[in-house]
Amino acid sequence: MRLDPRRLSLSARRIAIVIRREIRDQFRDWRIFTPIVILTVVFPSLMTFTAERMIAYVNSTGGTLDSERLAPFLMMVVGFFPISVSLALALESFVGEKERLTLEPLLATPLSDLELFVGKALASMLTPIVSSQLGILVYLGGVYAQTGWLPAPGLYLQIALLAVVQAAVMVSAAVVISSQVTSVRAANLLASFVIIPFAMLIQGLAVLMLWGELNLLWWIMLGLAAVLTGLWRMGVRLFRREELLGRELDQLDLRAGWRFFAEAFRGERRAGEGFGGWYRREVLGAVARTRLPIGVMAVVLLVGTGVGYAEAAQYRLPEALTRDVAFGDVASRFDETGISSLSGAIWIFLNNVRAIGLASLAGMASWGVLALLLLMLPLGIAGFLSGQLASFGVNGAVFFSAFVLPHGIFEIPAALIAGGAILRMSTSFLAPPPGRSIGEAWLLSVADWARIYLLVVVPLLFLAALAEAFVTPQVVVAVLGR
């Protein structure tokens, strides 16, 4: 299906007209404008008082907490809250006007679909971005008046840009939701898919800021920029003005959805074809369609292993523990755990199956990000231990080969293929195939994931469990046993 160039025409002047109209409408509604003003002016003052009390309390109990660690986190919180409230503006950008019967005149204008979408999205971003930046400035003014502290220019730039990127991603997701639903109520319900991932992100950012790992913020902003690019691509691809008024009711037909999924899972039926032919065409074909996400997963696993090895030089384990791992009686420890048995193999297999399943659920809730982190963790730990043992004369490559590769020849491909399928499933709605809705595109990717998980990943994990229980201990004892 070719895109109509007239639908994608772009004029800065006409986009500016849409932005002016939207901003004028936003300032007319005091129910939205008043909470934003309160969070921009009053909330930063409250955060200033909270920071002072928190530092005094922690220091009085014998702990150590200073403004250099706490202030960046509170700056981020102050910048985030106006964005979360302003999300209502984006959620109502299209469907709200449809309910107020003000959308038809706008659709009748000579604006292209792209100009209409871009104008609405930029106008919805402007208010939360400005309010978040003003909130940060008000907070810094209060902190400076009480303590004389001001952030370094680089730190201020980090926090300010982080607020801008967060606002852009959240608002873009809300605008896409508003253009695809039929009621404000449905838009508000779907807003949880925007709020929950960012609430999890804020918790992770809090840990990084309180630990002082501020350099990682640049990588997080880079990831958010990639998500923003995907959301804009999705919005431009899906937005059709003729469909805005054509949708009358959001329906959730679970029975029809199950039938669609079951047919997609079975795939095409061919007369006289056995299971082997079906497996090659449908299952291995699904793996082939996932080759790009699998490549991304391979890079992630390599990076995770390298980061774990590099971090070993900075975070040293106790010397006695490291020497015991490197030079202790490895064979006796395997005997004590009972891992070299059938029950041990079953435990390993079930644990790995459960881990992949949880990674799949986490991936769906985080656009694949949490799945990547969970799947890279085992190799990151292996790389970390290799770096630790290297300081005691044990070759890191030898340790990695002994402890990981005997069962890793099955488990690593399973992680690669499973991670690729999860990533494809989690991002399938960003660019649905022509003629498919978002739900159909997602169900097709879920069917591919189910085929890959049940018929490729689970068998590989079973072989990996047998190897880890009966082969890896023998290799480890031969290489490191004393």
Of the candidates 213, 246, 279, which is a domain's last residue? 246
Give me the pLDDT at residue 332, please: 62
Give me the pLDDT at residue 241, please: 66
Same domain assignment for residues 111 and 129? yes
Alpha helices in 366-437 (DSSP H): 369-390, 396-403, 405-427
Q: Which residues touch 363 (CB under 8 Å, ≥6 apart)?
A: 369, 370, 371, 372, 422, 423, 425, 426
Give me the pLDDT at residue 410, please: 92
User: Which has the closest alpha carbon to 158: 51, 76, 40?
Assistant: 76
The answer to whether position 7 is within a domain reads no
Structure-block tokens of residue 261: 């999924």
Same domain assignment for residues 48 and 187? yes
The answer to whether position 457 is within a domain reads yes
Of the candidates 188, 223, 246, which is a domain's last residue? 246
The answer to whether position 3 is within a domain reads no
The answer to whether position 296 is within a domain reads yes
Compute the distance between CA of residue 24 and CA of residue 149 in angstroms, rounded to an integer. 38
Of the candidates 187, 218, 246, which is a domain's last residue? 246
Same domain assignment for residues 354 and 285? yes
Give me the pLDDT at residue 62, please: 60
Classify residue 11 as left (phi > 0), alpha (psi -120 to 50) or beta: beta
Same domain assignment for residues 261 and 223? no
Same domain assignment for residues 289 and 230? no
* pLDDT tens by residue, the chain, 482 residues: 444 544 555 677 888 888 888 788 777 766 666 777 777 777 777 777 776 676 666 666 665 555 566 777 788 888 887 787 777 777 777 777 777 777 777 777 777 778 888 888 888 888 888 888 888 888 888 777 777 778 888 888 888 898 889 888 888 888 877 777 777 777 777 777 777 778 778 888 877 777 777 778 888 888 888 878 877 877 777 777 666 665 554 555 677 778 888 888 887 777 667 788 888 888 888 888 888 888 888 988 888 888 888 887 777 766 666 655 555 556 566 666 667 788 888 998 999 899 888 888 888 767 777 788 888 888 888 888 777 777 666 666 777 777 788 888 998 899 899 888 888 887 776 666 666 666 777 788 888 888 999 999 999 999 999 998 888 888 877 776 54
Give me the pLDDT at residue 266, please: 82
Structure-block tokens of residue 438: 């978002």
Same domain assignment for residues 304 and 334? yes
Same domain assignment for residues 23 and 94? yes
Owning domain of residue 17 = 12-246
Same domain assignment for residues 273 and 317? yes
The answer to whether position 4 is within a domain reads no
The answer to whether position 258 is within a domain reads yes
Could you tell me the pTM of the whole model? 0.67
The answer to whether position 6 is within a domain reads no
The answer to whether position 368 is within a domain reads yes
Please count the structural domains in the chain: 2
Same domain assignment for residues 49 and 178? yes
Same domain assignment for residues 230 and 266? no
Report the Cα 147 to chain-centroid distance in Å: 37
Give me the pLDDT at residue 104, please: 72
Compute the radius of gyration of the chain from its Cα atoms: 27
